[in-house]
Structure 1
């Protein structure tokens, strides 16, 4: 599985170089998000109803990307290059979309009155899903068309798509999709086996562990790509990969699992417990502070990493 991940990463970076930024990062983001949706839906339908698995997977994705991956990008890049520049307009846009989507889908269900705490009614779930897709589609339009320059560093560090042959782009994209399908098949088996083992041993935090496992396995290609970009002094590209994955997870995964829940009649619990909600708000706040300046340092990344370690610790000792 790890061999497949590194092969996929090479093809994803080849596609990214050929089509240029920010389109290159979107290729991997969309592919990984589609994989995550398929894994979560298949796990939801695996055995008895598991209403909190989707919530834990999405929450884990947001925490891993916004604290773990972003923290490593900032810390390692800052350690090698002392200071690195970011495009504040682009990172602020990422954070605004991420904050709106996370609060609307993971925090708001705890305070609605129509159904039990933590859940949406069918009408509320459909309404929030449509708004999530609409907001994410608007963000992608702004990133790729209307305000593309806000997500690209001033230096020209990408290769124009016109200089690459269509055959090489098609071959890399095809091999990328084949590799990602292989990852999802392997990850699904691993996650299902881990879930069965945790249930057999009556581990109380089974959903949190499985959700973090799914998110970690699926995000590994993006995480490595983002860290590589940061070490190459392309921090904005690394942040595009990391934060774009978090936004896509909320904007596309939640509607996907919501549709599966409505079609199959299986319950879906989205509202986070109080401790997780506090960690989520803290992660968003620290991102806002880190991205408020146009330059980042090693210390900025260490703050994110400390929050990530806290999240991992509380998975096992809540």
Structure 2
């Protein structure tokens, strides 16, 4: 039997992206003083590597998911993406002058991209192709309940506390909310993996198919390693580009610089999960797509808020988490629509279009607040 060989691109882009990020980091000073044409060329090369690596990472994530089975493969992708995203936000917080609202904008952007954008695309394209799609309300409602609790605690409650100025937590309040976030997300993962696993997966009729996929070439350890290397490369390159965008917006005196940078970071980091969720919806595996999408929102708040909270407490840098009135309305609207959309256990194209309308409004208000 011939040995299974991976296409060279599956190795080239993850390793190349990580190497390119290291090269840019160590030559940042020379690039900064280079002509504009060199800077533009560097950004084009970085963009090519980011987008190519996204699809390679997605391939490895799906390979791991097939070998480990659901929901373990989905959780691995979600947890790894969120952990690296949290490290990027923390590093950007600690870089240069204090930027108290960047973390809030990144977390808020992630929730809106997932609950309005990714879910909307999944439901719309899935409805166009399959007319109706069924989901398991128990698992989906559990995910939404966790998202609602974490979101209100982290992004809305700070506007109504009295220990400090509106929008901020005191040190004890921030530590308390961080611990609650970790505990709630840990309970969610336990329910998804162990206690109520059946509520989050499709009908278990594909065990034979799973065994067949497991036997198809390649080792799971190699896929896992390339998955992490590729994700690290994507996020480190994203951090480099986001820093350049932030400096450019500040130079142009754009008032919504934090919102734009937060959206950019969240969108690029979520790209592998978004593509995976849309593919699942097109394959009439909407529940798996929703697990990926909503799971990423749960993980973002449950893990990122404690990470940035710890960084704020250790460094003494201020942290503003409370959303403004307009963003609060959009967030509550996206969550309310999600509850209605998944309440019947069946979705259609119209359901997805409602989510997309909210997402378009969110994008418009980023640039025209």
User: TM bucket by the smaller chain?
Assistant: over 0.9
Q: Which residues of 2 match residues 1-318 of structure 1 at below 5 A?
A: 1-157=50-206, 160=210, 164=214, 168-318=219-369
Residue 88 of structure 1 and its aligned partner are, at CA, apart by: 0.4
Matching residue of 2:17: none
TM-score under structure 2 normalisation? 0.84
Paired residues of 1:19 and 1:161 also in contact (CA < 8 A) = no
Q: Kindly provide the CA deviation profile for residues 35-69 of structure 1, in whole angstroms up to 9, marking residues without a partner as x.
A: 11111011111211000000000000000000000
Q: Which runs of 5+ in 1 are unaligned?
A: none
Q: Kindly provide the CA deviation profile for residues 76-122 of structure 1, in whole angstroms up to 9, marking residues without a partner as x.
A: 00000000010000000000000000000000000000000000000
TM-score under structure 1 normalisation? 0.98
- Name the structure, 1 or 2, with higher relative contact order (CA <8 Å, separation 6+): 1
Q: Which has the larger radius of gyration?
A: 2
* C-alpha distance in 1 between matches for 2:245 and 2:206: 42
Paired residues of 2:341 and 2:351 also in contact (CA < 8 A) = yes
Paired residues of 2:66 and 2:213 also in contact (CA < 8 A) = no
What SS does the aligned partner of 2:219 have?
helix
What SS does the aligned partner of 2:89 have?
helix
Q: Kindly provide the CA deviation profile for residues 140-199 of structure 1, in whole angstroms up to 9, marking residues without a partner as x.
A: 000000000000112534654797369611110011011011111100101000001001
Q: Which runs of 5+ in 2 are unaligned?
A: 1-49
Paired residues of 1:20 and 1:161 also in contact (CA < 8 A) = no
CA RMSD of aligned residues (A): 1.4
Q: Kindly provide the CA deviation profile for residues 121-154 of structure 1, in whole angstroms up to 9, marking residues without a partner as x.
A: 0000000000000000000000000000000112
CA change 1:277–1:161 in 2 (3 A) is farther
